[in-house]
Structure formats: C-alpha cells, structure tokens
Amino acid sequence: MSKRLVINLLKWLAIFAVLIVLLFPIFWIIASSLKARGEFFTRPPVWVPANPEWLNYPDSLRRGGMKGLIDSFTIAFFSMAISVVLGAPAAYAIARFQVGKKNLAFWILSIRMFPPIATILPLFVIFRFVGLVDSYAGLVLCYTVFNLPFAIWILKGFIEELPREIEEAAKVDGATRFQIFRNIALPLTAPGLVVVALFTFIFAWNDFAYAVIFSGSNVTPLPVVIAQFAGGHEILWGQISAIALMAILPALVLATFLQKYLTRGLTMGAVK
Amino acid sequence: MVGPAVAVLFLMTIGPLLFSLVVSFTNLQFSAPQPMRWVGLDNYLTLLFNDSRFLTALGRTLGFVLAGVAVQTLFGYFIAWLLLHVNRFRAFVLGPILIPSVISSVVAGWQGRMIFNASYGPLNDVLAHLGIKGPAWLAWPQTALLSVFITDTWQWTPFLALVILAALQSQPQELLEAARLDGAHGWSMFRRITLPLVLPVAGVGILLRGVDLFKTFDLVYILTQGGPGNSSETLTFLTYLQGFKFFNPSYASAMSFIQLLLVTIMAKGYLGLVNRKGAQ
C-alpha cells in the first residue's frame, strides 16, 4: 500500500515537472507582455514585473496589431466557412455513396506531406500574374487547399458513425437525397462541424509560411506582424509579447473545449 | 456533391505542381534578363553533385528529422505513460499539456527568442544559478540549430504524447492480462505486446511528425534565419532563400521536387515498416 502511494506521488511530481517545463514559455510571454521597457534589460531578468505595464496592449494594437487581428480573423473565417460549406456535402457523398474514396485518401495524405514551399513557388508566379498576391482572396484560397481535404476527411469519419436507419426511413417517406443530407445528416453531424470549423480556423490563423510570402502592405496576418516586429531594428519586447498572447487565444479555446477531439483533428482522423 | 471541392483542389495543387515541374527544367530567373531556356536536368545535376550548401542542408535536415522523431517519441511516450496511470484529474492535466501543440509556430519562435536570449533570458539565468555559464544560444553556430530543435521539441512532444496515450488506451485489457499470466513483464511485455499494438496506431502520428520536421521553416525563420553562417539552414529554408531572396525559381523548383521525392520515399518506407511490425 505505502509503496504504491510513493510511486503515485513520484508520478505526480513528474507530471508537475512536465507541466512546468511546458507552460513556462507561456508564463514568460504573459509576464513579458506586462513588463516596462527597462525590465527587459536587467541581469538577472525580471521574472514578475513590479508594476504591470498594461499600456503594452493598446500600444501593440495601434502599431499594427489591430490590423493583424482583423486580417487574420477575416482570412481564417472565410477559409473555415468555405471548407465547411464545400466539405460537408462532399464528405456526405463519400461516406454514403463511396464516391472516389480511394483517391481522396491519397490526395489528402499527399497534400499534408507537400513541403509548402513546393506549391508556394508556382502559386506565387501564378498569383502575381492574376493579381492575387497581397490580397485576402489569395490567402483564403491557399488555406482552403489544405483545409478542405481535412474537412472532408474528418466529416466523413463523423458521418460514417451515424446510424443509417433514420436516413433510410426518410428515403422511404419520399425525401430527396439533398433533403436527407440537409435535414437529417447535417444536424446530426453538428459536433463534427464544430470540430472541423475550429480546426480549420486555427490552421489558417496559425500559419506562417503562406502568410509571409503572400502578404504585403495590404494584408498583414498576425504571425507576419509578429515576425516583422521581431526582425525590426528596435525590438519592442513588451508589445510583441502582447500581440503573441492575443495570437494564442483561439488555440487556448481549442485545447480547453475540444480536448476530446484533439487527437482526431491533429492526426487527420487517423487516431480516434 | 464532390465536384466543387475537387475543382478547387485540382486548380490549386496539381496545376501549380506541374507548372513548377516544367520550370525546374528551365533556367528561369527573376533577377537576370536572360531569355528562358530549356536546360533539361542541369538544375538537378548541379544540386546533387555540385552544390555543397544544398547537400549540407540536406544532411542537416535528415539528422534533424531523425533526432527529432527519436527524442520527441521518447519524451512523448514517457508523458503518455505518466498520464496512463493517473485516471483522476487526467482531463485537467491534458488540456494544459497540449497548449504548446496548438499555438502558432511564430509565437513559439518568439518565446524562443526571449528564453534563449544570452544576456537577459531566463534560461541562462537558471543555468547561472546551477553554476553553468550558458552559451549565446542563437548566436553560436554550435547551438543555433539545437535551439531550433529544443523549441520544436517543446512544441510537438505533447502532440506525440497525446497520440501515444490514445494508442496505449486502445490496447485490449484482456490481452495484457493474458500476457501477464503467461509470465510476460517489463521489457519482454513491452517488446512483444505493447509495441506491436501501439505502433500501428501511434505510427501515423509519428509519421506526420517526421514529415513536419522535414519541412521545418517557421522556427528557423523566426529564431535564426538559418544563421549564424549557414549553421541552422534547413532544406525548406534554403529553398525559400533560393526562390524568394536570390530570385532563382527554376533552381528552387528543382530543390522542392527533390524534397517531395524524399518525403514520399521516407513515408512509404516508414509505413511499410510499421505495417510489417504491426502484423508480426
């Protein structure tokens, strides 16, 4: 009995150690976002700021953070919306009528494996030609390319878990295929839709590779704002940390509320 | 119903890829005024036999992938093992543990910039308390890539822990009991029962990690820009430089096709290995 207690205690100690290592950088960002200018250049470093400098937040928003938030939100939102709207019917067709199932699996895996740079380069040439560089539409299009297959794949998994009987009963009652999809399958897949919506939003929200290449003076998503700030001549530590903290908020929502579906989303549905 | 989705994907993936394949056989350059000419395999031959910077980056990236997969899987397994045996409060712990894996890599990079700061960062402060004089992490050629590695490991070990935990939980309890009754324990239990059961499930997660490590770009961009010198230059970062800084799209296209080929071969080989192990 006591031996088991000791082992349990050791395990919890180890878990706490792991938590400290994993969460320390987050703590450091929070602390840094509240430090005054001088507190970044002391030895030893200031761990907890004496007087929280709240002004870092409005200041960072004024210096491009607000534009970054709006741009990131707009792009992520539209990519999410398109992926869900186009993805749901496609997923339903694949799950129920086995349309192109084999090819889809291959396609999704290969898109996930492409080094983004392999598609970014030709896309850049094409986008420049049609005027999509530095536009919202261009980035939305880019993200939809990897969000859409993801959406189809995950939703397909959810739809396959639904019992077929209800749909068959509706069919007997004379409902059309589309009616069945819209009035029966879609409402039942609501949890799947939420999972897909949040994940596709976050993929677009977090991306840097596409954002840094296809953005310009018109469109500046949040990660690009952070990178620009961080590479500037005078590094505004406090302000960047404030923006960075705002940039991780959607991810925190994901980790908190959709824990149950995290594995599924992160592994493209390979592990349920 | 599948039509619109397929149309978008086709226009945005196969099209550009074919375009890029054609470009990789030419000498197209954005900077030079020379006329575009068909050069056949020249770009590929130069890359594979004459470009030491490319070959070094290739070796560096492969090492990065292997070390990353090994270290992150090991740590991930350890965390999963810890969590497996704590039933109560697991949900409370799992959420916070997963935070690194869902945040933007740019933010992870920014944290790295602060934490690895040689003079004012907390890491060297902690090391100083232990009596160690910490290196100038991001400014030394010996430690720049290591800093990228540590940041990546911080960010993605939780993901692997989650996947491995799911795999461990999916082991049928009866089988474990039966094996225990037959006298299996410790290492033999792990090798003969756990590993074959866990590998196919966790294998996909590990594969995705390997592919993503191969594509490491964001962290290099934010943390080191490939420097000092070329000491932390990964393959994707070098491709980016060739394409967008040196304005050499044909050469960069050839580079990205070599990467595409390598990723495909690695993934195929790995999946074959996992399936064989799993079947045994």
d(Cα A81, Cα A198) in Å, to the nearest integer? 10
End-to-end CA distance of chain B: 41
Coil, helix or strand at residue A246: helix
How does pLDDT run across B124-144, given as a tens digit for each residue? 888 988 988 888 898 899 999
User: What local confidence, expressed as pLDDT, does residue A49 receive?
Assistant: 84
Q: What letter would DSSP give residue B35?
A: P
In angstroms, rounded to a whole number, what is the distance separating the alpha carbons of residues B46 and B58?
A: 14
Check CB contact under 8 Å for B106 and A40: no
Q: Report the residue count for chain A.
A: 272
Whether A186 contacts chain B with CB within 8 A: no
CA atoms within 13 A on the CB side of B226: 18
- Average the pLDDT over B74-86 and give the result: 88
The model's confidence at residue B59, banded by pLDDT at 50, 70 and 90, is: very high
Residue A269: pLDDT band with limits 50, 70, 90: low
- The rounded mean pLDDT for chain A is 84
Q: Taking CB atoms and an 8 Å limit, are A230 and B110 in contact across chains?
A: yes
Contacts of B252 in chain A (CB under 8 A): 117, 121
Is the backbone of residue A134 left (phi > 0), alpha (psi -120 to 50) or beta? left
A14-61 confidence digits (pLDDT tens):
999 999 999 999 999 999 998 888 788 887 888 888 888 888 899 888
User: What does the alpha-carbon distance between residue A190 and residue A195 come to, in Å, rounded to a whole number?
Assistant: 9
* Residue from B77, B81, B114 to probe the interface with A (highest A Cβ count within 10 Å): B114
Cβ atoms of A124 and A139 closer than 8 Å = no
Closest CA to B204 of A153, A119, A93: A153
What is the pLDDT at residue A101?
66
Instruction: Please judge whether A248 and B104 are an interchain contact, meaning their C-beta atoms are less than 8 angstroms apart.
Output: yes
Assess B120–A contact: CB distance below 8 Å, yes or no. Answer: yes
Our CA-based measurement puts residue B11 at a distance from the nearest CA of chain A, in whole angstroms, of: 9
More confident call, B34 vs A164: A164
Chains A, B: CB contacts under 8 A, how many? 254
Asked whether residue B280 carries a pLDDT value surpassing 60, the answer given is: no
Nearest to A185 by CA among A86, A82, A84, A96: A96
pLDDT tens, position by position, A106-131: 666 677 777 777 778 888 888 888 88
Interface contact B111-A226, CB threshold 8 A: no
Structural contact between residues B93 and A19, judged by C-beta atoms closer than 8 angstroms: yes
Residues forming beta bridges with residue B38, ordered by sequence position: B26
Distances in Å between the alpha carbon of B214 and those of B60, B111, B191, B253?
10, 22, 28, 17
Identify the pLDDT of residue A268.
66
**Between residues A107 and A64, the one the model is more confident about:** A64
| A73-82, A138-147, A237-246, B25-34: range with lowest mean pLDDT | B25-34
- Interval B189-216 mean pLDDT: 82
Residue B42, pLDDT score: 82
* B34/B28 Cα distance (integer angstroms): 8
